[in-house]
Structure 1
């Protein structure tokens, strides 16, 4: 008989290897967060370049004031789900504000972004429906589909032609519907979906299009509604989900729909019904952030400029970048060991990025992932570029140091 945790032995071996190289990149603890772009570990100040704080609103005075007032008015928590005692006026006000922003009749707010897709996808897809999912779909989309009894078919990443072929092959779904699920901007590579083409293919086959704009709400579109708005098809998308933990500078999530009948799913979505509602402070901060997003063209302009600056700088250094300029810029590394080694070097030299490794990455890639913020200055981005340049110039020394650490650990 094996022990309960023996199945995690391969994972533990990977973690042990990472710890031999340096720190635990997947368990970083900041002793202080100073601003949207600065943190502190011990006595060292770190430039934050991996926080998904796309508009830099976590330290916005109005957002903070709203959160503090909500605590004073309603306390620290709701102690109940949305279908019990957990719906306050702030929850419905935020739902109305988001629905108005998207120009849709229905919007439902959830406690986390992860729960949003679990709830919405499992609430929408019935036993006779078929879910068509992008091959690079986020874990919450995959897990949401697993909560259903619907069939699931994957199509090639960002490939409307492959979706078209699979929908044609499926043919008419007797007693059911096709639900196509994509993302606006993908979180690991930062690549953008051709939403306008997916709209055309999906509706031509009589399906419904669900787009997760978690990383693109606030960062794209004239009013910040995301890629669908950027590409001029916002009014044609059936469902749009998102999170508060990126541009909305809080914790929670939402799903908006052009179908007023979406409201009935409140009575069937288990991740909505059986968890405590979002705290008043989180909801109130997000409510103010919605207004900041709608009027935040200057923030999006700076974010775009910084993305172009960083992409050009890293390209000039011959880093293998995964996509065209966007708020997420990821550099492919040869393998997990090199990526972990370089991540440690960057931290030691004052720059925090994300170490992203399989199985959480597309194409089994090992990445140094950067997420930019509108709060980053031109000098901040130049510092990131300069630090990557020093890392590249020190590659031999870094490799030698890694080998020494591994030998010492044996």
Structure 2
């Protein structure tokens, strides 16, 4: 087989979509006007699929911090953290995050993806066992694959299934790594972390929680689901990203373990990757302080989430199982998903389209994410766009979208 022959099915699937006027894969956003508005082609749209939970991408404090860093430290470090890529800002942010999460150590990575790859793929190896929720993010699966550890999946958000599988492991369970997420990025539901923490207390193991979508969103201080449920002491490692609530790019891993910092000398995705740009680090430091100083942003975010969730339920749509800032609308087929996604843009709303195999039972979903920066009027306009779709004839935008691959949202 020729080198690229393995992609023939993907080529056929992609061709189905690029024949349409708007493609969901790598959508070009031509202008950004604010955290909540932009332009796609000729359509001015409300941005309702950006994960910009606190709306900090245009925060004046964050912009000013980034500008000053850009002027004084340049566009990039041009090196890894192990070489010339550790600036004072990187060290300061690690200390500030350690203080915020009340952890002994924090290690910064260049992306959230690399945080998973560099932490999980280094801590575990052949002979180790990883138990992970079936709906965990692709970066977690890739990290496990890289490690060579034995992977045991348990049913999504099913603590009983986790317990059953750990009991089968016997004594091996006490050294296994359990991996879950705070808020899951597709359906917006949360891990049953209280129950999982109790299982860990009884059977042993290490617990890693990826709080990518829950930092700044859940918990009294915004530390995520573990804080919300008062089980932080049961969580051995917290992973997260700067590309959601903190409005930039980068990732981190935090832990109490006294030897956690050894990962700096063993993690290839940390050692061999250029460090985050100084301007990005500066904006994250500013965003972290805004998040701490303005808890009202979190209050506003949840008000918007409840507003949109209720509006869609009242229209009769099938939405995710729990109220959260991630609000998916589940549709019967990829064709209908494509139709909804394109029509929503025409009606002035940008959301994410997610297709099989990332969705259950061959369904599709259009995934909304709300922000503290959305106004109640904008939420009403999003609901209004969905209401208009209820009244329109549903002529599918494509004829054969079954089996299409997803763009890989996080």
Same-fold call, TM cutoff 0.5: yes
For the Cα contact (< 8 Å) 1:128–1:177, is it kept in 2? Answer: no
In structure 1, the residue matched to 2:395 is 399
In structure 1, the residue matched to 2:59 is 60
- Encode CA deviations 1:208-250: one digit per residue, 9 max, x unaligned: 0000000010111111100111111123210000000000111
Aligned pair 1:344/2:342, yes or no? yes
For the Cα contact (< 8 Å) 1:136–1:362, is it kept in 2? Answer: no
Q: 1:368 aligns with which of 366, 369, 381?
A: 366
Output aligned runs, 1:79-158, within 5 Å. Answer: 79-158=78-157
Output aligned runs, 1:295-314, within 5 Å. Answer: 295-314=293-312
- Encode CA deviations 1:191-212: one digit per residue, 9 max, x unaligned: 0111121111123212000000
Q: CA deviation at 1:329?
A: 0.3
Q: CA deviation at 1:149?
A: 2.2
Q: 1:199 aligns with which of 197, 207, 216?
A: 197
| Range with bigger deviation, 106-115 or 176-185 | 176-185
CA distance in 2, matches of 1:7, 1:120: 30
Partner SS for 1:136: coil
In structure 1, the residue matched to 2:69 is 70
Q: CA deviation at 1:23?
A: 1.2
CA distance in 2, matches of 1:124, 1:323: 33
For the Cα contact (< 8 Å) 1:54–1:373, is it kept in 2? Answer: yes
CA distance in 2, matches of 1:311, 1:24: 26
In structure 2, the residue matched to 1:23 is 22
Q: Which 4+ stretches in 1 moved above 3 angstroms?
A: 361-365, 400-403
CA distance in 1, matches of 2:396, 2:100: 54
In structure 2, the residue matched to 1:164 is 163
For the Cα contact (< 8 Å) 1:183–1:193, is it kept in 2? Answer: yes
In structure 1, the residue matched to 2:408 is none
Partner SS for 2:213: coil
In structure 1, the residue matched to 2:403 is none
Partner SS for 1:173: helix
Aligned pair 1:247/2:245, yes or no? yes
| Range with bigger deviation, 255-264 or 181-190 | 255-264
CA distance in 1, matches of 2:119, 2:307: 37
Partner SS for 1:220: coil
Q: CA deviation at 1:112?
A: 0.3
Partner SS for 1:147: helix
Q: TM-score, normalised by structure 2?
A: 0.94
- Encode CA deviations 1:130-164: one digit per residue, 9 max, x unaligned: 10010101000000101112111001111111111
For the Cα contact (< 8 Å) 2:238–2:255, is it kept in 1? Answer: yes
For the Cα contact (< 8 Å) 1:21–1:340, is it kept in 2? Answer: no
Partner SS for 2:338: helix
CA distance in 2, matches of 1:401, 1:358: 17
CA distance in 2, matches of 1:206, 1:401: 51
For the Cα contact (< 8 Å) 1:213–1:240, is it kept in 2? Answer: yes
Structure 1: where are the runs of 5+ without partners?
Answer: 404-410
Structure 2: where are the runs of 5+ without partners?
Answer: 400-410
Q: CA deviation at 1:364?
A: 4.2
Q: CA deviation at 1:362?
A: 4.5
In structure 2, the residue matched to 1:50 is 49
- Encode CA deviations 1:63-82: one digit per residue, 9 max, x unaligned: 01111111111111111111
Q: CA deviation at 1:44?
A: 2.8
CA distance in 2, matches of 1:363, 1:189: 14
CA distance in 1, matches of 2:271, 2:111: 13
Q: CA deviation at 1:401?
A: 7.0
In structure 1, the residue matched to 2:354 is 356
Q: TM-score, normalised by structure 1?
A: 0.94
For the Cα contact (< 8 Å) 2:17–2:398, is it kept in 1? Answer: no
CA distance in 1, matches of 2:231, 2:362: 32
- Encode CA deviations 1:344-387: one digit per residue, 9 max, x unaligned: 11111110000011223355431000011000011111100010
In structure 2, the residue matched to 1:326 is 324
For the Cα contact (< 8 Å) 1:224–1:296, is it kept in 2? Answer: no
In structure 2, the residue matched to 1:407 is none
For the Cα contact (< 8 Å) 2:305–2:325, is it kept in 1? Answer: yes
For the Cα contact (< 8 Å) 1:223–1:296, is it kept in 2? Answer: no
Partner SS for 2:19: helix
CA 1:21–1:44: 2 relative to 1, 3 Å: closer
- Encode CA deviations 1:378-407: one digit per residue, 9 max, x unaligned: 11111000100001110x2x417767xxxx
Aligned residues: 399
Q: CA deviation at 1:19?
A: 2.8
